[in-house]
Every structure is written in structure tokens, then in C-alpha cells.
Structure 1
Amino acid sequence: MSEKAQQIDAQKQDRQPGLEDEMHPSAEFIRDGYQSSDKLAGDVAMVTGGDSGIGRAVAAHFAREGADVAIVYLDEHEDAEEAKEMVERENQDCLLFDGDVRESAFCQAAVEETLDSFGGIDILVNNAAQQVVKTDLTEISDEQWEETFAINMHGYFYMARAVLPHLEAGDVIINTTSVNAFLGNDMLIDYSSTKGAIAGFTRSLSQQVASEGIRVNQVAPGPIWTPLIPATMGQYDPELVEEFGTDVPMGRPGQPAELGPAYVYLASDDSSYMSGQTLHLNGGKILNG
């Protein structure tokens, strides 16, 4: 079914992470017509940044496919509760962990509590991220550079390191990278650099654990309508939000609901012969190499 472009007005949010309730229009997380095939029945998934945006869509799709979900988020408690309700409406259990993925101890504790509560972990989705618009490299402070890497890359490492000893053959790690890792973005140099690092991390880790039957893949979204957009691009220039996603061949930003099934594919046995690879959901951008 074809999608129509949805009007997005100029807007901004004054904090990161952004909040779903302050977005207009609202994002779509799972389509009414999405049918479960019980692809993840009995599984346990951890999703960082699972309170909103792509992470919430992943949690909703995983739950509909039969998985219990542990959602890791920073401090957006209302968004997290709404995400939990979505999981529970699918008759699945949900845990919430609020904290900072920049802290190794927090990541370890969240993993241990998930293991205690659910008895195992089968799927890790690393998804939490931040970005800050800067159009001049010399304006990127040491603090911004280090913080962007700490959240976007170090958090992925801390979570994977904590979960990996508990994974078995058939289990998976899915990382969220970005189209910017492959095309670059002159307004998001530090963010794009972290997403390139994630791509290298995904490919390298996939080779290290392939012999154990553990698969590691990644999704590279293009422009997706999430709170990160008004909270970052909107803070720099609200007019940028109105134009967001119009430069791709499809002429519109994607919805989180359009990415959820890709994560289901990578998490399920449907992708059993796939590791170290990237799924590109970017509105029709053609990538070289």
C-alpha cells in the first residue's frame, strides 16, 4: 500500500531526548493491519531508546510477535509508560529501566535485572541515540563530541558486552545505524561519525560470534519521524522540520511503523543466514558501495 506524505509543521522541542506528546503530527508505531505470525514467541528482547520513535515501534512489533520486552530509556517516563502499555496490550510482559547508557554499571544492572525477571535474553536492540546540529566543525565542542560518542557508540558496546555472555545459538543483536553512516551529513558530523563506528562494530562483532550461532546485523534508517527531529533540527531551525524527509525519492519521511517489521525479520529465524549485514530503509536513496 502506498503512503501519502503527512504535513509536518515547523516546530521545535527544547530538550533532548524529545517527547512524543509534543510532536505534531503524532508518529505511527504499528499498523492496524500488521498480523502476527508468532515469529518471536517465547523470546525476551531488550530495546534501548524503546520509549519512543523507532525503539517504541520495535517494542510494539516484537510484542505482537510474542516477545516480552525490557525497555531502556533515559528519563521520558510518560513516553515509557505509553510504550509499556503498547507491549502489554499484546498480552506480553514489559520492564522499564530509566538510566543513562553512557554508564557501564547501569547497562550491566539493567541486563542482570532482566535476566532475573525474565530468565534470559534472546534479542538485544541497540537504538538509543542523540544528535546536535552544527554546520561548522569548529563549533563542535569537546563535550558535544564526547557525549555523542558516549551515548551513540559506547552505550552500544556496554549493552552488547553485558548481554553477550547470556546469548545462545539463534540469538541476535540488532544495532541501529543510519543512512548518514553511508552518505555523510554536513550538519551532523559527530552523529554521522558515530553511526559509521556502529557499522564497523556490527560487522566486526558479527564475525567474532558467528561460530557460536549468534547473529549481529543492523538497520540503517533514513529520515524517520521521531522526537529526535523537533528536539534537534527544530531546536536549530524550526523550518528544517517542515522540510524533513522531502529530499528522498519518496518525498516524505518514514514512520517508525515502517521500520518495525525489518527488526522483526532480523530478530527471527527468517534471517537465519544473515549476519554482519545492513537493511537500508531510507525512502529510496541509492547507496554506492
Structure 2
Amino acid sequence: MKIIKPFLLSTVVAASLTLYGCANSPTGRTQILLFSGTEMSQLGAQSFEEIKKQEKISTDKKTNVYVQCVTSAITARLAPQSDFTQWEVVVFDSEQINAFALPGGKIGVYSGLLKVAVNQDQLATVIGHEIGHVMANHSNERLSRSQLANTGLQLSNLALGGAEYQNIAMAGLGLGVQYGILMPYGRAQESESDTLGLKLMAEAGFDPQQSVNLWVNMAKASGGNQPPELLSTHPSNSTRIKNLKAQVAALPASNVKGQNCKL
């Protein structure tokens, strides 16, 4: 049996880390970003066009005006972006309780979300959260982490070449990367976007207390069908609610006039 010294795997993975630079997210968390903002904006725009081809776009004028009103109230307070000129929001006619944001300022809202986000403030919570993903370069970060993880596994595979039980070792390493790095990393991003989104929606004049109510609604809508937090890329509903309650209590009083977006 060929013996692999522990420091050998550490060395090959560490060598790949030296190729990349680090950045800080808006909350000060260290990030690894391998791609430029322009590259990510182009990817986001391409992906958004593909989604628009695949999904049914809502033609309901009232719904579109409502969602645009909430989105514009938040984006109007943001500084100009260096990698794109304007935010674009599209409402998809779908029962999905979901929304997303892509690099390049592309926002998608599924009409089914409005059955759970039942007022402007709760919708603003979701929109602010999705915008938070863009502001914090989360797509770049996740793509970079994924590529870095793949590089590390490839280098480790080379280091293990010829070793007995190589396949078992690689399977174990892959499982460790998936559950030890990528999934908790996703939860960190989601929690960060909750924090950023709460700040954005409150600064835009929406009621931050409704962020808690939104996730109570989300928990009810899920019917308890949620994977264990350990095996999920999102925080559990109970964790989210607990964190948001604490953050809402710590927010300074806002002097911004409340919004008046109506469906």
C-alpha cells in the first residue's frame, strides 16, 4: 500500500489557493472571486435570456407594475453599478414560490411568490434579499468556490495516483467538499443576503418587521417539508426568523417615508 503523507494533499490544494486573490463582502466576510464583474454580468445576462425563453412571462399589467414599484423603490437608493447600467425585473407566470437575482442586475419574480409575500413589505424583503446576492457577488463567489473545489479534487486525485483505495479516498474527499464547504458556504451567503436585504428594504421605507412575518409565512407554505439544515444550502426557517428578529430590533429608526406599492 502506498502511503500518502497528510501534508502532500494540503500542499497541492494550498498551491492552487495562491493563484487567486481575496476580496471582502459588504459585511466584511472574506471572499475568493476568480471572475471579473464584466464576465459575471455577461453570464447573468445570457442566463436571464435563456430563462425568459423557458418560462412564461406574466402579461398581467397590475402585477408587473406592483413588482416594479417595490423593486424600483429599493434600486433607486443604490449607487450606480460599475458592471451594468440598469436593473431589470421580470415577473414569471408560475405557481413557484420563488425569486432570484443574477449578476448584471437581472431579477426574476415568480407570481406564486405573491401568495406568500402578501404585502409590499414582505415582497420588498424578498427583492432586497435577492439584490443582496448581487451586491455581495455571491454568484461569482459560488462559481469561484466550485471551481476551486474541483481544482483541489483534481490535484488530490493526482497525488493519490496509484494508491490503494484511491477511489474510496476520492469519494470521501468529494463528500467532504460537498457537505463541509459548498453547502455551509451557501448558508453563509443566504444569511448574509438576509442581513443586506433587510437593510436595503428598511432604508427604502419598507417595514422591516414584515421580514419576520414573511418567513413565518414561508414556514407555513413549506408544510414542514424542509431538509435538515445541515444538508441544505439555506438556513432553516426557524434560524432565519430568529436571526431576523434580532436584526430588526437592532435597526436604527428610519426617517424615510413609507412606500405605497399596491397590487
Please indicate the TM-score interval, normalised by the length of the shorter structure.
0.3 to 0.5
* Higher percent of residues as helix: 2
Larger Rg: 2
Relative to total residues, which structure has the larger strand share, 1 or 2? Answer: 1
TM-score, normalization by structure 1: 0.30
